[in-house]
Every structure is written in C-alpha cells, then in structure tokens.
Amino acid sequence: MTSLVSRNPADPSDVVAEFPAPGAFAVADAVERARTAQTGWAAAGAAARSAALSSIASAVEAAAGELAGLAVREVGKPLAEARAEVARTVAIWRYYAQAPYEPTGAVHEPAAGAGLLLTRRRPHGVAGLITPWNFPLAIPTWKAAPALATGNTVVLKPAPEATASALRLAEIVRGALPDDVFTVVPGGSVEGSALVSAADVVSFTGSSATGRQVVRAATDRGIPVQAEMGGLNAAVVLPDADIDRAAAHIAAAIAGYAGQKCTATSRVIAVGTALDPLREALAEALRAVPVGDPADPATVCGPLISAPARDRVAAAAQGAQVLAEGAAADGPGWYAPPLLLDKVPAGHQLLCEEVFGPIAALLPAEDLDQAVRITNAVPYGLVTSVHTADLDAALHGLDRLDTGMIRLNAPSTGVDFHLPFGGAKSSAHGPREQGRAALDFYTAGRTYTLTPHGG
C-alpha cells in the first residue's frame, strides 16, 4: 500500500503526517455517501446552510493559531502569510454564509398567454474538489464554501504534501455539518482520478499538466469542470513608475513564500529607460528579502516544498547571468536563495515553463507594445502586474494583455477573495472561482414554464 508522507520543509527529519493512501474504492465510497447525504443538505433550507457556514467561520477563527502553525510546519509557509491565509479562510466562510439567501433565479413574463416562466439554479450533487499544497486552507475553502452554500455535498482530495492541514480543517468543518456532507479523502493521483470518475462536478487547482488530464477525464464524462493551473507571470515597469516602490512590490512577488504561488512574478519586463534604475533597485530589494525559518514572523522567503523543488531553482538559473542573489538560509531545510537573472536568451526554461521557486528573469522592452508582446508570448496567462503613473497608457496596454487578472501598481501576488479569480490560456479552464462566479459554477440552470390549469 502506498504511504502518504508530509515532511516539514524547514526540517525534513520532522514527519508531519504519515497515512496509508486509501485507494480508489475509498473515494467511490465517500462519493456514494456524499450523494446520499446531498438530498437532505439541499432540502435543509437557506437558514440551516447559512448558520452552518457561519459556525464553521467561527470555529476556524477559534483555531487560527493552531491552523497557521500547522501550515508553517507542513508546507513551510512563512508565519505572517500563514496567519493571513487563516484570516482569509475565515472571511471566505463568512462571505459565503450569506449566499444561501441569494436569489437562485428569476421570473419572466410569457411571450403570449397567461402563466409564468421561471429560471432557477439547482446544485449539481457531489462536488469533487482537488487541491494543491501551497494554500492548504484557503483553496479548499474557496471551493467548498460556495459548493456547500448552494446545496452540494463535498468530497475533497487534498495534495499529499498538505494532508495534515486538510484533515485538521476538515475536522473543524465537519463539526458544523450533518454526516457525509463534507468528507476528506487523502491521497495522490490514484485518489484524484477516482474522484474525477465519480463526482458530479469537479473543481481542480494545481499544475497545468495535471489539470489537463483532469479536464479531459471530466469532459469525457460530460460533467462540469473548472481548473485553475500554473502561471508564468510578468511584471511590466514603465519609465514613469515609482521605481523603488515597483522594485519592492516585484521583489515580494518573486521571493514571497519562496515563489511558490501561482501568482508569483517570474518575468520582469522593463520598458525603455526604466531598465537601468530598475536593475539596480530590484537587485537591492531582492538581496534585502528576509530568507529563513518560516516560523520566524519576519521571514518572507522560507524553504521550498521538497528537495527536487529546491534543485529545480538552481537548474533554472543555468544559461543566464545571475544579476542578484538573495540571502542564504541556515539549517537543514530545502532552502534556495532568491535569484534575479539577466541576459536570459530566448527559449530559456524560465521563459517557457513555471519553475515555482524564487527566481525571475529581467527582460528589456523598447516600448509598451513590445512589453505586451513579451508578456503574451508564453502559453500561460494568469496575472500581470503593471507599474506606471500614466493611467491612460496603462489602460491602453492592459486591454491587449492576454491574462485573466491585471494588477496596477501592486505585486502580481495577492487575492481579493470576493472577486472572480482565474487565468487565460493554459492557466485556466472553465468558469472562474470565488465571488459570485463560484455560485454559478456549482449550480445548473433550469427553465420552468408554468401554465395555469386549462390555460
């Protein structure tokens, strides 16, 4: 039997969780039980579902310190970010606690004759949720909360690297729900693909390679599927930007959580005369990033999730010039210093693939048009940050960026939990997550024609 092991990335001798992988039958069984429970949950009414979600928010809030500590230990998330993730998790449960009271349809007049036409949205059934390790609390929550609010039941398959965090969150969530409304099945690809084979709707977040397989399998079954996947995000800096401020934002977006966010910046595009001052300011900002123990509240860049992930960062620096190297950390953890590369040739790995580490390329562009072309010249399209004082120029350029999200004078990282979140091209498939968009995804439309008897 395969074993699921998660280790502390800051001290790999510390085993955080070790479980036997339950296998595909356990997934099928969890989905069947969730399907039986769904009818009652959907019929429980808006007040019951709203109260349950509010009570989950309070219970997560009460366990905030413990959950943040677990995320630090299990996935190496710097403490300040782990605390922020827990706060966001609480806010998401609270936000969707209002959703059961939202209208689920509309009334229309018939084109001719008497009666009423109604449109109404109904839950799909069992939502199969597959999540990555890097946001072990917020991503399961931003999928589960709208799924539950709209009357679906949930089976969650978290990433094996984040098993303990997911199981602890699940314990808290289940305390406020009837049996089998929310189940976690730990596991890897076997359990993940079994979930795609059994659920009624699938929401996936993870790498583009896995996401493509999930989308194909769900599409073959004809069930709704959404996938949020990798990024190769650019920061575009125009000559009129506040260069020091832009450099601070970009350094944080390259090195924060060791670059292990789908929204991290990995390409920095300096337009015209922005290049020289930005080169200097960004190198300085990156060298100043606090690197080290994720349990230290001052740490910004902690360890990578695994030894292979750490080794990928050094390998990705080959073939280019290292312009700046950040601080090295002490200790046995899987640390890699943040890197800024210059003179990166076309076709270099960093310009084609997501490395998922604290590393970025500095690229020159003659003007905004060329910066837009460089930004768009990758298969990914998640988020782009643009740094300028000229809103007109920015708006002109922004319209041509082929990315799902644009952030002006802000780091590429950062999420507003109540807004739709999602990418373009191979960064995403299907409807967006979060906000009201999620309520639509977890429900299917139905049209009713109500004609008076004898009408």
Applying CB under 6 A, the residues found at the interface with ligand NAD are: 130-135, 157-160, 188-189, 192-193, 196, 205-207, 210, 213-214, 228-231, 262, 354, 356, 382, 423
| Closer by beta carbon to ligand NAD, 49 or else 157 | 157
| Closer by beta carbon to ligand NAD, 259 or else 364 | 259
What's the CA gap between 175 and 164, in Å, rounded? 17
Q: How far is the CB of 162 from ligand NAD (least distance, A)?
A: 8
CA 350-375-230 angle, 5° bins: 55
Instruction: Tell me the two tokens of residue 159.
Output: 């990433």
- Do the beta carbons of residue 149 and residue 176 sit within 8 Å? no
Instruction: Tell me the two tokens of residue 365.
Output: 């562009």
- Do the beta carbons of residue 448 and residue 118 sit within 8 Å? yes
Enzyme catalytic residues = 228
What's the CA gap between 453 and 455, in Å, rounded? 5
Instruction: Tell me the two tokens of residue 48.
Output: 């019951």
Instruction: Tell me the two tokens of residue 400.
Output: 């041509």
| Closer by beta carbon to ligand NAD, 116 or else 352 | 352
CB within 8 A of 105, min separation 6: which ones?
118, 119, 120, 121
What Cα–Cα distance (Å) separates residue 164 from each residue in 15, 71, 106, 136, 169?
Answer: 11, 9, 43, 9, 9
Q: How far is the CB of 303 from ligand NAD (least distance, A)?
A: 15
| Closer by beta carbon to ligand NAD, 158 or else 337 | 158
How buried is 334 (Cβ within 10 angstroms: 0-12 exposed, 13-18 middle, 19+ buried)? Answer: buried
Question: Which residue is closest to ligand NAD by CB?
Answer: 192
Q: How far is the CB of 113 from ligand NAD (least distance, A)?
A: 48
Q: Tally the residues of the chain.
A: 455
Instruction: Tell me the two tokens of residue 51.
Output: 């109260």
Q: Considering only CA atoms, which of 227, 259, 245, 235 is closest in space to residue 81?
A: 259
| Closer by beta carbon to ligand NAD, 93 or else 380 | 380
Q: How far is the CB of 264 from ligand NAD (least distance, A)?
A: 8
Q: How far is the CB of 58 from ligand NAD (least distance, A)?
A: 26
Q: How far is the CB of 262 from ligand NAD (least distance, A)?
A: 3
| Closer by beta carbon to ligand NAD, 192 or else 294 | 192
